[in-house]
Amino acid sequence: MEIKVFPGRLTGTVDAPPSASVAHRAILCAMLAEGDSTLSNLELSDEIQATINGAKALYNDGLTVDCRESTGTLRFLMVLLAAVGRKTTFLGGPSLAEKPLQPLIDLLTEHGVTCTTEGAAHGWFPLTIEGKLQGKRFLVRGDVGSRFISGLMMALPLLGAGAEIVLTSPLQTRDYSNLTMEVMRRFGVTLTATENGWKMEKEADYQPAQLEIEGGYAGAVYYLCANRLPRTNVTVTGLSAASRQPDRAISNIIPALGNGLEVDVKEIPDSVPALAMTAAHAEGRTSFFNAGRYEYEAKRMQLLCQNILSMGGQADIEDDRLIVYGKQNLSGGCVIPTGGDYRIAMATMIGALACLKPVVIQDAEAINHFYPNFFKDFARLGGVCEIISPSKAGKKKG
């Protein structure tokens, strides 16, 4: 789906969408608890629905789990289903098929789980795991990815007292690990942080809980960034200043965009598109480093740079650093590819508001993977976009 976004402004109040990071973890902890849990303020995006559907495999052998484009669904469930010994076949979308997975497959294989896949050269799917995770001591690099480590953390209670994760290199994304521990604690399980990882000191089972999913900074970033644009004034409700979400850091980053800001984004890679697109409109230089640590992040960084240039902005890449030279009045009047990345699609919708001419965004339907109400909220706040059908007929405005 292509959409054309017109120059304009956003004003009004919007609720922050529920945190997907919290929701994934809470759904899985609730499924592992014996008894009824209540989760409120859930938004049934494609990726959250994938986790809800996939969690059924925890109690059924031989199921096929379609992860769609949800990295969290795949990595969390691969570990948890291995921990309970469920044979499962995983499917996923084309973008997910390219995400790095070999370190997780290697770990599962080392601990008694058979993983059958076409391999990275052909995409991972279909991917079948079979067997039960063996052993209680797991050696893991600290740079393999937060979802990989968080999935293993959630699996420790299933493996009994003494189960532990030992990091063989410094942890790259500590904030997500802290978030995982907090959600587990809400469901009655406490991990002990060790010098180089985490350990289950004693037996503990997941307990039912009632949990309201807090507002997500990773979804609110688009509105908070919009407030740096001319004439835009959006109040975002439902965010907790005490949240353990890594993307809470944007609260301090957004006001400082431009002005020579140097920001380490290794803990907040999902917020980079919104921050970079906003920096393109903020006079001055902004440098985002650790923006391309993994291949898929490097591709995203390259696409962001290309898109900023296409919209009339200035940007450059040096190693894993995206450098944006902001200025007012980007020209727009271009077609922007998103590569099916909802983050780039939403960031471009916000950035297009401050361009001189409309911007056409490709593959905008990817937004539904994460925030299906974004189009509705965007229109309610005063944003104007036009859905362009392939036949150029039946156009709609919102």
Average pLDDT over residues 186-195: 96
List the domain range (segments joined by +) for residue 322.
Answer: 2-17+214-397
Q: How many domains does the chain have?
A: 2
Are 187 and 243 in a shared domain?
no
| Placement of tokens 């960031």 in the chain | 347
The yes-or-no verdict on residue 121 having pLDDT over 70 is no
> Beta strand 192-194 with 197-199: parallel, antiparallel or unpaired?
antiparallel
Are 157 and 146 in a shared domain?
yes
Three-class secondary structure of residue 271 per DSSP: helix
Q: End of a domain among 188, 212, 236?
A: 212
The yes-or-no verdict on residue 71 having pLDDT over 60 is yes
Q: End of a domain among 169, 194, 212?
A: 212
Q: End of a domain among 156, 177, 212?
A: 212
Are 110 and 27 in a shared domain?
yes
Average pLDDT over residues 249-263: 95
The yes-or-no verdict on residue 394 having pLDDT over 70 is no
Average pLDDT over residues 202-219: 96
Reported as type and span, the H/E element at residue 221 is helix 217-226
Are 101 and 241 in a shared domain?
no
Are 181 and 160 in a shared domain?
yes
Predicted TM-score (pTM) of the model is 0.93
Between CA 142 and CA 172 the distance in angstroms is 6
Q: What proportion of the chain, given as a percentage, has pLDDT over 90?
A: 87
Q: pLDDT band at 122, cuts 50/70/90?
A: low
pLDDT reported for residue 358: 98
| Placement of tokens 């156009």 in the chain | 395
Are 271 and 191 in a shared domain?
no
Are 378 and 260 in a shared domain?
yes
Are 43 and 145 in a shared domain?
yes
Structure tokens at 347: 């960031």
Are 133 and 208 in a shared domain?
yes
Are 281 and 162 in a shared domain?
no
CB 225 within 8 A of CB 206: no
Q: What is the pLDDT of residues 162-176, one digit of tens each?
A: 999 999 999 888 899
Q: pLDDT band at 296, cuts 50/70/90?
A: confident
Structure tokens at 199: 């350990």
The per-residue pLDDT of the chain, averaged, comes to 93
Q: What is the pLDDT of residues 346-370, one digit of tens each?
A: 999 999 999 999 999 999 999 999 9
pLDDT reported for residue 395: 41
Average pLDDT over residues 253-264: 95
Between CA 234 and CA 236 the distance in angstroms is 6
Are 25 and 144 in a shared domain?
yes
Between CA 90 and CA 108 the distance in angstroms is 15
184-209 burial code (b ≥16 CB/10 A, e <16): bebbebebeeeebbbbbeeebebbeb
The yes-or-no verdict on residue 392 having pLDDT over 70 is no
CATH number at residue 101: 3.65.10.10
CB 389 within 8 A of CB 360: no
Are 377 and 246 in a shared domain?
yes
